[in-house]
Chains A and B, each alone.
Chain A
Amino acid sequence: MLAPAIVVPLVPALFNHEEPRLFGVPLFYWLQLAFLVISVSATLIVYRVTRR
């Protein structure tokens, strides 16, 4: 479950591009920040599933 959250941000081919820009910010910057969503979702799901 946590594996994609660790692996995806480590694949430069995914994010090392200029376009498309978002509000003038190159993909490189906004997509890496967007990866936070994966991390947060993964940890949230693990928390929910393992809570007691």
Chain B
Amino acid sequence: MNEHITEIVIFTALFLLVSGMGFVAARWRRADNLASLNEWGLGGRNFGSWITWFLVGGDLYTAYTFVAVPALLFGAGATGFFAVPYTVITYPLVMLVLIRLWSVSHVHGLVTPADFVRVRFGSPTLALLVAITGIVATMPYIALQLIGIEAVLKTMGVTGDLPLIIAFAILAAYTYQSGLRAPALIAFVKDILIYIVILVAVIYIPARLGGFGSIFDAADAKFAKTPAPGDGTLLNANNQLQYITLALGSAMALFLYPHSVTGVLASRSRDVIKRNMSALPAYSLLLGLIALLGYMAIAAGITPIGTDVNTVVPQLFDQMFPDWFTGVAFAAIGIGALVPAAIMSIAAANLFTRNIYKEYLRRDATDAQEARVSKLTSLVVKVGAVLCILLIDPQFSIDLQLIGGVIILQTLPSVALGLFTRWFHRVGLIAGWTAGMTAGMVLLYNIANPANNHAHFGGSAFPLSKLGFDTPMTVYAGFLALIVNLAVAALATVLARRLGSSEGVDGTSPRDYTADAGDPEVKDDLEVAGST
């Protein structure tokens, strides 16, 4: 008999419980019908502060984050802690940027960031580029959620692909049925479980390991023994620039991801978003504590299963906690994978429906047709993610995710800057996007990682010496690519104006960016549903 049987039973029970909730969610805050994107894809656009807090929190802090960030600290030390400044600075940024997107989206009934680009710059081509970027960047992110579940299953001794397929099939079914309401409802359970598990973990585990002092001493001792120059419990002169550019770049990429936009657009008013920007950092505190689990694993003498460093946190729980609580902790991680996976697949499906299907395939699609296409696409997206994990080396998904962060950043000039200024010419933005994408790919291709025998796509830290600078410093590749993007966009904008190229029609007015719920131009949800 399997020694992990208690864990498996509790894990399965909790998993089934939330799956049931996922199906029931269709009836929660019931709409007249779910046959429109505003209802299926944005939950009726009427979520208040609490739901938004759980939904966006559950959306941004994924299962992968919970296993991968501590794994980074376990392997490399201080550089992995970038996740904390990254999620600290992202909220003031969101407050500046996404709040304007919320307003303009509510005035014009927009569902995706590409919708906004379409209206703002009058360019279906630019919107298509933004939509494709979003879909391509999101796909591997969904696949990574499976890696989170896989790490837990492996630790419980459950092998084979079938459990993963079943888990994702259930997820696909209730997302299809309930839309954004499903992850919103499940997020409550997931986040409460995660908070309990982590609070217990950061009090209980250090107490068993002799306090934080000895945990950090153990980590220091480990990094002192390894030959790698970049690790340690503090940053060194060479990776500081990488640390801050990665934190800033990731913070900017985070709110450009379609799934974060989906979470924000589903909220009821500007006040709900603002209040949440002050409340969401509670998750960052949690993330910081989770990150330290990596050092606790070092102090506890955990070794990963095989070469899968993502198993260190599940292993730590397995070794430290009684069986029943380990089961709860594993369920928290497993369910933690479902919420973001659902929202991401909805966001990707909305992009396809609005910016490819409706724009290029069927211009006169009705609300009901849009919703049906989106539901079907969400299924396709999830099947794709499962195939990614099953057929391709999981390491490839991690590489893709790395690339995803870099490429989503290339939509910043059109989406984020576009919310503030119409100065950029649409031709300039397309040229900038092309240049930024190319630069990003070339940079990533040239990053080697001797630690896992990667000659290419070995990480995001680009050595400046390769550009001819006489320094061992490294910088985040996405950040460099964004600079190239902005420079080319500006140059091409000036050129396009000189040549008298058409600007395209700006469908928005300055007041649209500050409109709030209750204003005459902001339609209530029924009218919005009817007008899209």
Which A residues lie at the B interface, using CB under 8 A?
2, 5-6, 9-12, 16-18, 21, 23-26, 28-29, 32-33, 35-36, 39-40, 42-44, 46-47, 50-52
Interface status of B483 (Cβ within 8 A of chain A) = no
Question: How would residues 212 to 225 of chain B score, 1 for a CB under 8 Å from any chain A CB and 0 otherwise?
Answer: 11111000000000
Known: A28-B234, A29-B81, A47-B275. A39 touches B88 (CB 8 A): yes
Q: Which residues of B contact A2 (CB under 8 A)?
A: 92, 95-96
Least Cβ–Cβ distance between A18 and chain B, in angstroms: 6
Shortest Cβ distance from residue B99 to the other chain A in the assembled complex, whole angstroms: 10
**5 A-B pairs closest in CB distance:** A24-B213, A24-B212, A2-B92, A47-B274, A9-B85
Q: Which residues of B contact A36 (CB under 8 A)?
A: 88, 281, 284-285
Determine if A47 and B278 form an interchain contact, defined as CB atoms under 8 angstroms apart: yes
CB distance from B349 to the nearest CB of A (A): 31
Shortest C-beta distance, A26 to chain B (Å), equals 6
Task: Tell me if A6 and B92 are in contact (CB < 8 A).
Answer: yes
Is A32 in contact with B84, judged by CB distance below 8 angstroms?
A: yes
Residue B298 at the chain A interface, CB threshold 8 Å = no
- Taken together as a complex, chains A and B put the C-alpha atoms of A42 and B274 apart, in Å, by 11
A18 and chain B: residue at smallest CB distance: B234
In the complex, A50→B281 CA distance in Å? 20
**Bound: A18/B213 CA distance, A:** 12
Q: Are A32 and B88 in contact (CB under 8 A)?
A: yes
SS class of chain A's interface: helix, strand, loop or mixed?
A: helix
Give the interface residue-count category, chain B.
35 or more
From B91, B212, B247, give the contact of A10 (CB < 8 A): B247
| Partner pick for B288 among A6, A16, A18, A29, CB 8 A cutoff | A29
In the complex, are the beta carbons of A26 and B96 less than 8 A apart? no
Minimum distance in angstroms from B212 CB to a CB of chain A = 4
Q: Within 8 Å CB of A33, what residues of B?
A: 84, 284-285, 288
A23 proximity list for chain B (CB < 8 A): 211-213
As a 0/1 sequence over residues 300 to 327 of chain B, the CB contacts with chain A under 8 angstroms (1 = contact) are: 0000000000000000000000000000
Mostly, the B contact residues are helix
Given contacts A33-B84, A36-B281, contact A9 B247 (CB under 8 A): yes
CB of A16 to closest CB in B, whole Å: 5
Which residues from A are CB-within-8-Å of B81? 28-29, 32
B173 CB-CB contact with A under 8 Å:
no
Check A52/B88 contact, CB under 8 A, given A16-B235, A43-B277.
no
A-B contact pairs, 11 of them (CB 8 A): A12-B243, A24-B212, A26-B233, A32-B88, A33-B285, A35-B88, A43-B277, A44-B278, A46-B274, A47-B271, A52-B516
**Number of A-B residue pairs having CB atoms within 8 Å of each other in the complex:** 96
Q: Given A29-B292, A36-B281 in contact, is the A24-B89 Cβ separation under 8 Å?
A: no
**Are A9 and B88 closer than 8 Å at their CB atoms?**
yes
Q: If A32-B288, A36-B88, A47-B271 touch, does A24 touch B516 (CB 8 Å cutoff)? A: no
Least CB distance from B479 to A in Å reads: 12
Chain B residues with Cβ below 8 Å from A35 are 85, 88
A50 to chain B, nearest CB (A): 7
Contacts of A29 in B (CB 8 A): 81, 288, 292
Further pairs besides A10-B85, A33-B288: 11, Cβ < 8 Å: A2-B96, A9-B88, A9-B89, A12-B244, A24-B212, A24-B214, A32-B81, A35-B88, A43-B95, A47-B275, A47-B278
B240 lies within 8 A of chain A by Cβ: yes
User: Do A26 and B234 form a contact, CB below 8 Å, given A43-B92, A47-B275?
Assistant: yes
A9→B240 CA distance, assembly (Å): 12
Is the pair A16, B281 in contact by a Cβ cutoff of 8 Å?
no
Collect the chain B residues with CB atoms within 8 Å of residue A43's CB. 91-92, 95, 274, 277-278
